Amino acid sequence: MTTQEALKIYREKIAAMKALGHAMGVLQYDGATVAPAESAEGRGKTLAYLSGRSYEIETGPELKEAAQYLKAHADDLDPQDRREIEVFLRESEFTASIPQEEYVGYVELLNRADTVWHKAKQDSDFPAFAPIVKEIFEINVRFARYYKPDQNPYDTQLSRYERGLTMEKTDAFFNTLKERIVPLLKKVMSKPQVDDSFLVGKNYPIEAQRKFSDYLMDIITIDKDRCSIGETEHPFTTNFNKKDVRITTHYHEQNPISSMYSVIHEGGHALYELHSADELEGTILSGGVSMSIHESQSRFMENLIGRSREFIELIFPKMQELFPDQLVGVTAEQMFLAVNKAQPSLIRTEADELTYALHVLVRYEIEKGLFDGSITAEELPRVWNAKYKEYLGVDVPDDRQGVLQDSHWSGGNVGYFPSYALGSAYGAQMLAKMKQTVNVEAAVRSGDLHPITDWLEAHIWKFGGLYDPMELLERAVGEPFDPRYFTDYLEKKYSAIYGL
Amino acid sequence: MTTQEALKIYREKIAAMKALGHAMGVLQYDGATVAPAESAEGRGKTLAYLSGRSYEIETGPELKEAAQYLKAHADDLDPQDRREIEVFLRESEFTASIPQEEYVGYVELLNRADTVWHKAKQDSDFPAFAPIVKEIFEINVRFARYYKPDQNPYDTQLSRYERGLTMEKTDAFFNTLKERIVPLLKKVMSKPQVDDSFLVGKNYPIEAQRKFSDYLMDIITIDKDRCSIGETEHPFTTNFNKKDVRITTHYHEQNPISSMYSVIHEGGHALYELHSADELEGTILSGGVSMSIHESQSRFMENLIGRSREFIELIFPKMQELFPDQLVGVTAEQMFLAVNKAQPSLIRTEADELTYALHVLVRYEIEKGLFDGSITAEELPRVWNAKYKEYLGVDVPDDRQGVLQDSHWSGGNVGYFPSYALGSAYGAQMLAKMKQTVNVEAAVRSGDLHPITDWLEAHIWKFGGLYDPMELLERAVGEPFDPRYFTDYLEKKYSAIYGL
């Protein structure tokens, strides 16, 4: 074998896996958006077939030999190919550690789980979901043990989403947040509350909200020829290549803010995928490098930009145009305050920036408990509700607004949640760095966000998976990760809003 | 090999082909409905990969040997398996006659063609579409020659859609229609025209039209848990299994009738797929047997039921509820007359029952000409417009309303069009037979269409591909196909409406 031959085999096999992944992704997206209710069984069979073929290619001798040859001849490769082979071997090692039928069975299980979760959430019926979530966690523990038999399975799981992340680091991170956020929240709550009563009790027609989504996608510079928007129970982003990205939102007739921030959040994910460098397209390095970096981009757009005073001033005329009767007599400043109201609440995706990390902490602690066996699936509602009472001081009225609210566990995204809090903190550090060279407020005020998105493209997006997440962050901000940028940002913002 | 072993191999391979077909179908459906504009290239690569794998399985030695073994041991098989093997060998012979790279290239071409056609239609720009339609017809001629080198390629093509159909038979069929329809239309046109002016110049909000679609699906007994509705430039039906069928429609704000009959027409297709017998599920015999039988079902619902006086009386209260201002002062009888107005027009899908066959005739004659070389792709607009003038007496103002109106050629459905006229005629014969035992008018009037759909299920739908189309029709109606049922139906209906 020559290096050229090995590369050819490697590229062919990766292209095959990408095609299978594309087909599976579209099947799943279709299933979540427009497929009829009874379609799940047929989709499960097809996903099982396709994932079986993908498994065979990824773990088969041809690709393995080619990749190992290339690793042994890394000096012949350019840096991008060298990096790709390194990442491939790392990832395929995980896949290969799982027996094929368990791998395929898990894909089928997740397809079923989506349907079960949807119905359970709708009916607020946790017992219907309990056996599925139990099985999903058991499988994740087992897979983590297959992959790294000598390591704590939850550490293994965390590191799969964010390379190098451990419980120890995550605990320390959350402790830093708690130390600053809990007293800050206490001070905020002692002040007169922001008035957002004008948002309550009115109908915002879905058609107008759809137009608002289109407008928001334009504002945050999304190329709609490469990214479309759908509607799902739980908003998400998925991508098949850099010319085919999908975001989704969920419209609530009484609450236009919910969908507004879903669109901006998922739009942030989409921008990351849409601006991966052309040279990476078709390789396994295209697109976002990790979930925390991904969440740093989505929450950057959602909060650091989307909840800024300048952004609300920018978009408020459009809101008035689309919802004239609903917003009569309301000012942009009132809207700015309303979307930044800090208040312990039930739903993570609609939480303010200050309390958000506490929602994530609840999930993180529960995942740890499910992994080490100190919490059972059956106990989930009780534990969930107790933690919401402890950290947020709220009573959970039903499981629909409690443990069933998120789609992550039914989607197999176990170990994902810390990414949200980490991403929020990464984003604050990026913003501080960006502000050294970009007049962020002026860009937002002008309505042309390109100075901001250009910086993100140049320092984050274009690199795809070329660097491990921590290295990418350090290259972008010029120093190690420091969560105090985030806590400083929160303190400054909420002190101003609440006059502390 | 034993029969059991051969059956096992056969079933495994068919399941793999079904999974690949399912994935390709969802990719195509997604592409036509919600995918972003620039997604075509990535989808093309994935479709090429999946179709290549499907080709390899269908023409590969394992499946071939198993199927041939089973054919040689047909006495060991039950009738359904015997039939399935016979149909599989027939169909795989066609696939195997095409070189793999041409087969895959054609799938890619059609994916590109869809995008090109959409844009060309939008811009009314035939020259942009000409090279593609030329290539598609050339490939179809070539494939027909590969398959049956000694047969006229258009005969081969017709027979692929409707086994046993030839140009001779199709010519004779259209001549029968022309003999009766042309003089009838002349008489109709000499009478005072039906007044449909109340349909013109008003806006029918898309949201209300969407609700109307849902209502119509319920009325014609579609199980919405197994069939969803999407929106496309050109309405179509696709199905992945009997629990996952999709119909699409196109909403025109000024014309609710267009979408109404698209929904009922595509709903007729969907019902056929949804009611294939359970025993056939997962075999290649599930679903509709041929395009003409399929069109007999869609046009049955659309016209024989959907344009009947009883049906309009049934649904008119709902129309008034959804479009109260637009239909103020209009009666059900006026609506019945308006949706049956006979008038030569430009758009096939919106043509009345009387002139419809003439639209199909134009396309049939053009396809013959493109196959035998007497018409070139470049000449299409000129020939199209001349034939519309000759058969329908109308001037085509632009190619968007002319040769670019249908998606069939860009979708590779070459030789399909005669199915519409044949299907209309089959349907009329089925209705005559049905009326011997079912009070069709009373069923429609009651709002419960099950006596009608039960008959269709028992005599057509449940059989899937167990019989060739002509045999299926004869078994259902108890005699050979006779197009006079259709012309008699038209004569009776239009004589009453126009007082001939």
Is B22 touching A (CB cutoff 8 A)?
Answer: yes
CA-based nearest residue in chain B for residue A22: B46
CB pair distance less than 8 Å for A50 and B244: no
Q: For B216-261, how does the pLDDT look when each residue is reduced to its tens digit (9 = 90+)?
A: 999 999 999 999 999 998 999 999 999 999 999 999 999 999 999 9
Shortest CB distance from A226 goes to which of B23, B36, B45?
B36
CA atoms within 13 A on the CB side of A11: 10
Hey, are the CB atoms on A243 and B15 less than 8 Å from each other? no
Quote the pLDDT of residue B89: 97
Domain boundaries, given as residue ranges, for chain B: 3-151, 167-498
Is residue B109 helix, strand or coil? helix
Residues of B annotated as catalytic are: 266
Looking at the complex, report in whole angstroms how far the Cα of residue A38 sits from the nearest Cα belonging to chain B. 5
CB pairs < 8 Å spanning A and B:
112
Mutate to test the interface with A, among B20, B26, B115, B228 (most CBs of A within 10 A): B26
Tell me which residues of chain B, numbers 253 to 292, contact chain A at a CB-CB cutoff of 8 Å. none
pLDDT score at A279: 97
Q: Is the Cβ pair B42, A241 closer than 8 Å?
A: yes
Nearest chain B residue to A31 by CA: give it: B26
Instruction: Summarize the confidence of residues A114-130 as an average pLDDT.
Output: 96
Minimal Cβ distance to B34: which of A27, A49, A228: A228
Q: Is the backbone of residue B128 left (phi > 0), alpha (psi -120 to 50) or beta?
A: alpha
Instruction: State which residue of chain B sits closest to A21, comparing Cα positions.
Output: B46
Closest of B109, B101, B104 to residue B40, by C-alpha: B109
**Confidence (pLDDT) at B175:** 96
Q: What is the pLDDT of residue A115?
A: 92
Q: Round to whole Å and give the CA distance between A315 and B125.
A: 38
Contact A244 B38 (CB under 8 A): yes
Question: Out of A84, A162, A266, A353, which one is annotated catalytic?
Answer: A266
CB within 8 Å: A27 and B29: no
Q: Which range is least confidently modeled, A267-276, B63-72, B146-155, B192-201?
A: B192-201
- Indicate the pairing of strand B237-241 with strand A244-249: unpaired
Choose the closest CB to A27 out of B23, B34, B39.
Answer: B23
- Among chain A residues, the shortest Cα distance to B31 is held by A26
Nearest chain A residue to B21 by CA: give it. Answer: A46
Q: Give the confidence band of A28 by pLDDT, cuts at 50, 70, 90.
A: very high
What are the tens digits of pLDDT across the range A315-350? 999 999 999 999 999 999 999 999 999 999 999 999
Distance CA A261, CA A350 (A): 8
Which of the following CATH numbers is that of domain B167-498: 1.10.1370.30, 1.10.10.10, 1.10.357.10, 2.40.37.20? 1.10.1370.30
Q: Does the beta carbon of A203 lie under 8 angstroms from any beta carbon of chain B? A: no
> Which of B22, B38, B50 shows the shortest C-beta gap to A42?
B22
Q: What's the predicted TM-score (pTM) here? A: 0.95
Task: Tell me the average pLDDT across B340-350.
Answer: 95
pLDDT digits (tens, 9 = 90+) for B483-500: 999 999 999 999 999 999
Letter string b/e over residues B188-214, b meaning 16 or more CB atoms within 10 A of that residue's CB: beeeeebebebbeeeebeeebbbebbe
The DSSP result for B157-214, as a single string, is HHHHHSTT--HHHHHHHHHHHHHHHHHHHHHHHTSPPP--GGGSS----HHHHHHHHH
Å between A129 CA and nearest CA of chain B: 21
Separation in Å, CA of B23 to nearest CA in chain A = 6
Q: Write down the pLDDT at residue B80.
A: 98
| CB of A383 closer than 8 Å to CB of A133 | no
Whether the CA torsion B477, B478, B480, B483 is positive or negative: it is negative
Distance from the Cα of B495 to chain A's closest Cα (Å) equals: 43
Q: What is the pLDDT of residue A308?
A: 98
Contact between B16 and A46 using a beta-carbon 8 Å cutoff:
no
Measured between beta carbons, the chain B residues lying within 8 angstroms of A22 are 27, 42-43, 46
- State mean pLDDT over A380-402: 97
Query: Is there a contact between B38 and A207 if contact means CB atoms under 8 Å apart?
Result: no
Q: Is B191 on the interface with A (CB under 8 A)?
A: no
Mutate to test the interface with B, among A244, A249, A253 (most CBs of B within 10 A): A244
Q: Residues of A with CB below 8 A from B51's CB? A: none
Which among A30, A33, A207, A278 is the top mutation candidate for probing chain B, defined by the most B β-carbons within 10 Å of its own β-carbon? A30
Stretch A276-295: mean pLDDT: 97
Chain B, nearest residue to A244 by Cα:
B39
A220 to chain B, minimum CA–CA distance in Å?
17
Q: Largest Cα–Cα distance of chain B, in whole Å? A: 74
Residue with tokens 């991904």: A294
Q: Answer whether B274's CB lies under 8 Å from B398's CB.
A: no
Sign of CA dihedral B393, B399, B403, B408: negative
Helices (H), B34-99: 40-59, 61-72, 79-96
Contact check, Cβ <8 Å, A36/B244? yes
Instruction: For residue A227, give the H/E element and its range.
Output: strand A227-231
Closest-CA distance of chain A to residue B270, Å: 13
Residue of B12, B39, B118, B209 to mutate, interface with A, max A Cβ within 10 Å: B39
Query: Is the Cβ of A214 closer than 8 Å to some Cβ of chain B?
Result: no
pLDDT at position B309, please? 98
Nearest residue of A to residue B227, measured between CA atoms: A36
Which residues make Cβ contacts (< 8 Å) with residue A87, sequence separation at least 6?
A284, A285, A465
Q: Answer yes or no: do B38 and A225 touch at CB < 8 A.
A: yes
Residue of A11, A26, A213 to mutate when probing chain B, most B C-beta within 10 A: A26
* pLDDT value at residue A275: 98
Q: What is the pLDDT of residue B366?
A: 98
User: What is the band of A474 on the pLDDT scale with cuts at 50, 70, 90?
Assistant: very high
Enumerate the H helices of B373-449 as residue ranges. 380-387, 418-434, 440-446
CB contact under 8 A, A36 and B226: yes
Q: Which of B241, B210, B248 is nearest to B32 (CA)?
A: B248
Buried b (16+ CB within 10 A) or exposed e, B42-65: bbbbbbbbbbbbbbebbbeeebbe
Mean pLDDT value of segment B408-429: 96
Count other Cβ atoms within 10 Å, centred on residue A11. Answer: 15
Closest-approach residue (CA) in chain B for A239: B39
How does residue B333 score in pLDDT terms, banded at 50, 70 and 90? very high
Among B403, B422, B448, smallest CA distance to B174 is for B422
A residues 35-74 closer than 8 Å to B (CB)? 35-39, 41-43, 45-46, 49-50, 53
- Alpha-carbon distance A253 to nearest alpha carbon in chain B (angstroms): 14
Alpha-carbon gap, residue B286 to B463, rounded angstroms = 8
CA distance B224 to chain A (A): 7
Cβ atoms B432, B485 nearer than 8 A: yes
Mean pLDDT across chain B: 97
pLDDT value, residue B84:
98
Q: Which residues on chain A are in Cβ contact (under 8 Å) with B241?
A: 42
Write out chain B residues lying below 8 Å of A246, CB-based.
34, 36
Which residue in B has a C-alpha nearest to residue A222's C-alpha? B36
A119 close to B (CB below 8 A): no
Distance to chain B for A270, nearest Cα, Å: 13
